[in-house]
Copies of this chain bind each other. A is one copy, B any other.
Amino acid sequence: MSDRYIDFANSDLGRRVVGAVGLPQPARLERWQAGRLRPVEGTLLLGGGPLAVKVAEFGQRLTGEVVSFADDALGLPTWVAGLGSKLKAVVFDASHLGDIDQLKQLREFFQPLLRSLDRSAKLVILGRAPEQLDDVLARVAQRALEGFARSLAKELRSGGTLQLLYVAKNAEDQLEGALRFFLSPKSAFISGQVLRLEACASQVQDWIRPLAGRRALVTGAARGIGAAIAETLARDGAEVVLLDVPQAADDLKALAERLGGRALDLDICASDASARLLEGLPDGIDIVVHNAGITRDKTLANMTPEYWDSVLAVNLKAPAVLTQALIDGGALRDDGRIVVMASISGIAGNRGQSNYAASKAGLIGLAQAWAPLLAERGISINAIAPGFIETRMTAAIPFTLREAGRRMSSLGQGGLPQDVAEAVAWLAQPGSGAVSGQVLRVCGQAVMGA
């Protein structure tokens, strides 16, 4: 399960060998450690349009060192050089760029910074969703940001990441929650992504234990990514209800005990699964994470009916049926959060995974279908699409494919279960209602896409 190449590439000898022969140079990514308080440990630079001023208002809650660049006689290059410290995080508000000529501000702002970025630097560009604008040229400029952001994300080194957040006009009070995630090591394995923040009732939130007082259900929780999700939700204060198949009951119980939660051994495909689940949640539920999933890979030419049916049943039908039951049965509370686990295979398709990709694409459909129906109750539902994550499942992949899966991404390595778990935990926060019906890739900006 460990990626020995990263260890080698970051050793004294390895650095020289790797550099000399032009091999990939994956960095050791900084990750969130329990007990840490501030999202950014280092200098946060703000620049660009009016949203940067908004960010400055709460910037001191993100880190002790916030600096804002306002155009001055020195010019940015001299100014940055004069800062004397590397930049740990950068937010550039591009929302005011209203025509094509103004796009040059992107080059002017970012170019002088690139050599002053700290390791695992976190960059965010803010914009306005093109489809929410009237002016043609403004739409063009804002859409252009996407090509720029995804390219620059591919050029960052030393574990740097960059995302583009389209912020709706009245969603500016939703920025803090999003930036606390995307500027912190919690989003270590997310890069090159585009997300939309919509207006929503602002939720008072405890930033240290954001899930305190919330009850969370995680399926497939006995091991791997599911277990990491359970741990992370518990770390953030949630009371966890862990579900897995009866065969995994021992692992499940041990984990539930350790996290002070409850275990529910249940086959989610059983005909009485909905009834038993509702029975097991007499006080309702705030957070539902449909994580359980299986693979049964074969090209379609060789796929048995059992392979097709079992993957569709576990990965797609069970989440669809249980979601409906939790809603119909009144168990899902207002301001609830649902997260389904898709996959980049569900976005791009994958050879030998027509069953799996269909199920994962269907889950994206489930999030997109329910999101507008649940918005009125303040409930959000989103899909996370992991790329290559280091688990027992991916450890079983043949060497060459495994190496390709790891290296064919901007970060040049696989992610950890914790990376997926952090994304779930963020979407599960009361303050994350600004995001719904969307897909968030946790993939190190893998090359594979559609």
Q: Report A192 CB to chain B, min CB distance, Å.
A: 6
**Does A98 sit within 8 A of B, measured CB to CB?**
no
- For A327, give the chain B residue with the smallest CB separation: B136
Q: A114-B300, A152-B354, A155-B300 are in contact. Are A144 and B362 (CB under 8 A)?
A: yes
Contacts of A150 in B (CB 8 A): 348-349, 357, 361, 450
- From A143, A346, A450, residue with most partner B Cβ within 10 Å: A450
Stretch of A104-112, A172-180, A252-260, A275-283 with 4 or more beta carbons under 8 angstroms from chain B? A104-112
Q: How far is the CA of A268 from the CA of B78 in the complex (A)?
A: 36
**Does A308 sit within 8 A of B, measured CB to CB?**
yes
- CB-based contact B361/A145 at 8 Å: yes
**Does A360 sit within 8 A of B, measured CB to CB?**
yes
- CB-based contact B365/A151 at 8 Å: no
Q: Report A86 CB to chain B, min CB distance, Å.
A: 15
**Does A413 sit within 8 A of B, measured CB to CB?**
no
Q: Report A349 CB to chain B, min CB distance, Å.
A: 3
- CB-based contact B103/A312 at 8 Å: yes
Q: Report A163 CB to chain B, min CB distance, Å.
A: 12
Q: Report A148 CB to chain B, min CB distance, Å.
A: 4
Contacts of A100 in B (CB 8 A): 312, 316-317, 320, 362
Q: Which of B312, B360, B450 contacts A449 (CB 8 A)?
A: B450
The number of times this chain is found in the oligomer is 2
**Does A397 sit within 8 A of B, measured CB to CB?**
no
**Does A68 sit within 8 A of B, measured CB to CB?**
no
**Does A137 sit within 8 A of B, measured CB to CB?**
yes
Taken residue by residue from 140 to 161, chain A's Cβ proximity to chain B (1 for < 8 Å, 0 otherwise) reads as 1111111111111111000000
Taken residue by residue from 320 to 358, chain A's Cβ proximity to chain B (1 for < 8 Å, 0 otherwise) reads as 100010000000000000000000011111111111111
**Does A72 sit within 8 A of B, measured CB to CB?**
no
Q: How far is the CA of A447 from the CA of B345 in the complex (A)?
A: 11
- CB-based contact B300/A152 at 8 Å: yes
**Does A207 sit within 8 A of B, measured CB to CB?**
no
Q: How far is the CA of A139 from the CA of B370 in the complex (A)?
A: 10
**Does A57 sit within 8 A of B, measured CB to CB?**
no
Q: A192-B450, A447-B448 are in contact. Are A365 and B155 (CB under 8 A)?
A: no
- CB-based contact A107/B303 at 8 Å: yes
Contacts of A155 in B (CB 8 A): 299-301, 351-352, 354
- For A362, give the chain B residue with the smallest CB separation: B144
Q: A316-B144, A358-B147, A358-B151 are in contact. Are A369 and B305 (CB under 8 A)?
A: no
Contacts of A346 in B (CB 8 A): 147
- CB-based contact A104/B141 at 8 Å: no
Q: Which of B152, B350, B362 contacts A141 (CB 8 A)?
A: B362
Contacts of A7 in B (CB 8 A): none
Contacts of A361 in B (CB 8 A): 143-148, 150
A residues whose Cβ falls under 8 Å from a Cβ of B: 100-101, 103-104, 106-107, 110-111, 114-115, 130-131, 136-137, 139-155, 192, 194, 299-301, 303, 305, 308-309, 312, 316-317, 320, 324, 345-366, 368-370, 373, 408, 447-450
